[in-house]
A and B are shown apart, each in its own frame.
Chain A
Amino acid sequence: METQDRSTFAAWTRITDFASANSLIVLLAFLAVFPFLVPYTAIATQILISGLFAMGYNILLGYTGLLSFGHAAYFGLGAYGAGMALVYLKMGLIGGVLFGAVTATLGAMAIGFLCLKRRGIYFCMLTLAFAQLFYFLALVVFDNYTGGDNGLRDIPTPPISLPFGISLSVATPLRFYYFVFVLCVLSFLAMRRMLNSPFGAVLQSIRENEKRAKSCGFNTNRVKLIAFVFSGFFSGLAGSLYAIYYHIAPLNTLYWTTSGSVVMMTILGGMGTFAGPFVGAAVFLILEDVISVFTKSWQLFVGAIFMLFVIFFPLGIWGTLQERVFYRWLRQD
Chain B
Amino acid sequence: MGLQIGMVYVLLAIGLSLIFGLMTVVNFAHGAFFMFGAYMGLFMMGLTGNFWLSLVFVPVATGLLGLVVERFTIRPLYGRDLNYPLLLTFGLSFVMVEGVRLIWGTIGHAFDTPSVLVGPVNLGFAMFPRYRLFVIVATAIIVFLLWLFLEKTNLGLVIRAGTRDSIIVRVLGVDISRIWFIVFGIGTALAGIAGLLAAPMRGVHPDMGISMLIECFVVVVVGGMGSLRGAVIAGILIGEVVSITTLFYPMMGEVAIFIFMAIVLLIRPSGLFGEVGLLE
Contact = CB atoms under 8 A, between A and B. Distances in A.
Query: Are A and B genuine complex partners?
Result: yes
Interface of A: 67, 69, 114, 117-122, 124-126, 128-130, 132-133, 136-137, 140-141, 256-257, 260, 263-264, 267, 297, 299-300, 302-304, 306-307, 310-311, 314
A153 B252 CA distance: 24
B236 interface: no
Interface of B: 20, 26, 28, 73, 76-77, 80, 82-84, 86-88, 90-92, 94-95, 98-99, 101-102, 210-211, 214, 217-218, 220-221, 225, 251-252, 254-255, 258-259, 261-262, 265-266, 269, 277, 279-280
A114 B94 contact: no
6 contacts: A118-B265, A128-B214, A133-B258, A300-B95, A303-B91, A307-B88
Contacts of A299: 94, 98
A126 B76 contact: no
Contact of B217 (A125, A310, A311): A125
A122 B98 contact: no
B165 to A, nearest CB: 18
B98 A141 contact: no
A130 to B, nearest CB: 7
Q: Is the interface of A mostly helix, strand, loop or mixed?
A: helix
Top 8 A-B pairs, shortest CB-CB distance: A303-B94, A300-B98, A125-B217, A133-B258, A303-B95, A306-B91, A307-B91, A117-B269
Contact of A114 (B82, B218, B252, B262): B262
Contacts of B80: 314
Q: Is the interface of B mostly helix, strand, loop or mixed?
A: helix
Nearest to A140: B251
A119 B210 CA distance: 22
A140 B73 contact: no
A120 B88 contact: no
A67 B217 CA distance: 15
B87 A267 contact: yes
A129 B258 contact: yes
B102 A121 contact: no
A307 B84 CA distance: 10
A44 B90 CA distance: 28
Contacts of B214: 128-129, 132, 256
A330 to B, nearest CB: 25
Given A130-B258, A310-B91, A118 B101 contact: no
Contact of B279 (A120, A125, A264): A120
A304 B73 CA distance: 11
Given A132-B258, A141-B251, A307-B95, 13 more contacts: A67-B86, A121-B26, A121-B86, A122-B221, A122-B277, A126-B221, A129-B258, A132-B254, A256-B214, A264-B91, A299-B94, A303-B92, A310-B91
Contacts of A124: 26, 86
Contacts of A267: 87
Given A120-B277, A122-B280, A129-B214, A141 B221 contact: no
A35 to B, nearest CB: 30
Nearest to B211: A132
Nearest to A123: B280
A329 to B, nearest CB: 27
Contacts of A257: 94
Contacts of A118: 221, 265, 269, 277, 280
Nearest to A125: B217
Given A67-B83, A310-B87, A311-B76, A260 B94 contact: yes
B252 A140 contact: yes
B137 to A, nearest CB: 30
Contacts of B211: 132
Nearest to B255: A136
A166 to B, nearest CB: 46
Contacts of B261: 126, 129
A71 to B, nearest CB: 13
Nearest to A312: B76
A121 B279 contact: yes
Contact of B266 (A114, A126, A130, A137): A114
Nearest to B259: A133
Contacts of A263: 87, 90
A310 B280 contact: no
A140 B269 contact: no
